[in-house]
């Protein structure tokens, strides 16, 4: 593998792990070399969007140990999303066992420590079985795939500009924004691609009822630093990010106060730092947010130098993930044969 050239794109690896839920129970976890699956063309996942997914990473540490970061949190979140759809989901032990197994069976795709790249793990559930009626399917596939991805390490040193969503919303109030369902991403993909063409790294969404308060970015949570505070939106339409939750803990450990509250768009002007955070990117420092509807740009911090809290939190979190920092919260789970 050319580890340096890895980005966030698909590479076929050795196996995927699969289990079939039918007649009220999960079948055994199976390894499949073929990543093509055969399902009914009338599956509810294909017609009604009955699917939920997760994303986490495996890291090869400085000590050569392999670590998963907080996989039980992803297991809980998958169950929460699947429950929303009314479909079966694996329990936490089955979820974690499948994640460990997919790493071990694809071990040669796990990047060496020195590249600071990782293996992205994509667990998901899809409703299968022929149906046209609008009911939750009682047949489900649980699949876990593993894909080597790049380090994104350059991103932490390059403050980015993002675009404020102007002509569409991602999630309705009391809608599906806080669940990890494909439909949320379908609603935002074209806008994201178009924003990238214009040189933006991401799209920032506001609350869709009044468009007054900040929600989150298309695939990451929002946080800001002001004085000694770590501030992040309190909104029912954002995904409960495991990265954001971890950063809040690390900020708290460092003596910062945590403010989880509604954040007005205009407050952007008062922040010293803004970051987008999520599993893939870890932290993307944001120095400019363009509101094209109102012909306004919000500038935050220095346009070329990453703020010190973003840098501190990034180093601390990735340090824990790569076994360089003490894992005082026991977030990492070792993967051993």
Ligand X SMILES: Cc1ncc(COP(=O)(O)O)c(C=O)c1O
Contacts with ligand X by CB under 6 A lie at: 55, 216, 219-221, 239, 241-244, 278-279
Beta bridge partners of 298: 289
Q: Which is nearer to ligand X, 89 or 131 (CB)?
A: 89
3-state secondary structure at position 78: helix
Q: Which is nearer to ligand X, 131 or 279 (CB)?
A: 279
Beta carbon of residue 244, minimum distance to ligand X (angstroms, whole number)? 6
Beta carbon of residue 59, minimum distance to ligand X (angstroms, whole number)? 14
Q: Which is nearer to ligand X, 20 or 80 (CB)?
A: 80
Q: How far apart are CA 222 and CA 289, in angstroms?
A: 12
Q: How far apart are CA 128 and CA 137, in angstroms?
A: 7
Beta carbon of residue 129, minimum distance to ligand X (angstroms, whole number)? 28
Beta carbon of residue 185, minimum distance to ligand X (angstroms, whole number)? 7
Task: Mention every residue, 6+ apart, whose C-beta is less than 8 A from residue 212.
Answer: 206, 264, 265
Q: Which is nearer to ligand X, 128 or 238 (CB)?
A: 238
CA distances from 69 to 56, 92, 107, 278, 284 (A): 7, 14, 17, 12, 19
Q: Are 54 and 74 in contact (CB under 8 A)?
A: yes
Beta carbon of residue 312, minimum distance to ligand X (angstroms, whole number)? 18
Q: Which is nearer to ligand X, 164 or 242 (CB)?
A: 242
Q: Are 117 and 34 in contact (CB under 8 A)?
A: no
């Amino acid at each position: 593998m050319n580890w340096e050239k890895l980005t966030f794109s698909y590479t076929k690896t050795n196996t995927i792990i699969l289990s079939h839920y039918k007649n009220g129970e999960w079948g055994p976890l199976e390894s499949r070399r073929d990543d093509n699956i055969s399902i009914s063309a009338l599956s509810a996942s294909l017609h009604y969007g009955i699917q939920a997914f997760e994303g986490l990473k495996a890291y090869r540490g400085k000590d050569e140990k392999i670590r998963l970061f907080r996989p039980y949190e992803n297991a809980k979140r998958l169950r929460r999303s699947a429950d929303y759809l009314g479909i079966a989901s694996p329990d936490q032990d089955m979820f974690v066992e499948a994640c460990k197994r997919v790493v071990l069976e694809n071990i040669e795709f796990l990047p060496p420590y020195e590249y600071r790249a990782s293996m992205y793990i994509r667990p998901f559930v899809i409703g299968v079985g022929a149906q046209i009626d609008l009911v939750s399917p009682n047949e489900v596939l649980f699949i876990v795939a593993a894909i080597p991805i790049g380090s994104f390490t350059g991103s932490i040193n390059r403050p980015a500009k993002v675009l404020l969503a102007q002509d569409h919303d991602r999630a309705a109030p009391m809608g599906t924004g806080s669940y990890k369902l494909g439909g949320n991403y379908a609603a935002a993909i074209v806008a994201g691609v178009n924003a990238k063409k214009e040189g933006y790294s991401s799209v920032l969404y506001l609350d869709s009822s009044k468009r007054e308060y900040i929600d989150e970015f298309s695939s990451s949570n929002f946080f800001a630093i002001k004085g000694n505070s770590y501030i992040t939106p309190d909104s029912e339409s954002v995904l409960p990010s495991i990265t954001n939750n971890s950063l809040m803990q690390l900020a708290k450990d460092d003596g910062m106060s945590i403010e989880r509250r509604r954040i007005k768009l205009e407050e952007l002007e008062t922040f010293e730092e803004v970051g987008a955070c999520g599993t893939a990117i870890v932290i993307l420092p944001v120095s400019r947010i363009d509101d094209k509807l109102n012909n306004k740009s919000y500038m935050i911090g220095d346009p070329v130098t990453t703020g010190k809290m973003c840098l501190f939190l990034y180093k601390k979190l990735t340090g824990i993930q790569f076994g360089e920092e003490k894992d005082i919260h026991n977030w990492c789970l070792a993967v051993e044969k």
